[in-house]
């Protein structure tokens, strides 16, 4: 299976940089793992219409989209579980299904 390049949406990259150092290490490890297995065990589908997925990393969540046609994993949002799901409807419009 080919490795999927990881592409960050600008806001998700900023959120990752602002995360506490001990959490950031875990988040980076989880995001790197998505390049070899974009749909790991334990992944949840947030919206079947937009093909958004989420992975748990402690109290943080990684919301991403797998674009199989382009062989890319697009990290849409990274953040605390309390805030990452807010405005999910807007994400669905910004990231239509591939």
Q: Which tokens in the block code for residue 65? A: 């989209």
Q: Which tokens in the block code for residue 96? A: 């239509």
Q: What is the pLDDT of residue 59?
A: 92
Cβ-proximal residues to 56 (8 Å cutoff; 6+ apart), any chain:
42, 81
Longest dimension (CA), the chain: 34
Cβ-proximal residues to 10 (8 Å cutoff; 6+ apart), any chain:
none
Do 77 and 84 meet the contact criterion of CB atoms below 8 Å apart?
yes
Do 69 and 98 meet the contact criterion of CB atoms below 8 Å apart?
yes
| This prediction's pTM | 0.87
The tens digit of pLDDT for each residue in 37-55 reads: 999 988 988 866 678 899 9
pLDDT over 80 (residue 91): no
Domains and CATH numbers, the chain: 6-92 (3.30.2310.20)
């Amino acid at each position: 299976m080919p490795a999927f390049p990881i592409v960050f949406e600008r806001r998700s990259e900023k959120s990752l940089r602002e995360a506490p150092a001990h959490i950031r290490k875990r988040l980076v490890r989880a995001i790197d793992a998505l390049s070899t297995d974009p749909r790991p065990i334990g992944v949840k589908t947030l919206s079947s219409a937009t093909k958004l997925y989420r992975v748990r990393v402690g109290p943080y969540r990684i919301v991403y989209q797998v674009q199989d046609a382009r062989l890319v994993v697009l990290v849409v949002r990274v953040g605390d579980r309390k805030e990452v799901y807010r405005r999910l409807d807007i994400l669905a419009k910004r990231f239509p299904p591939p």
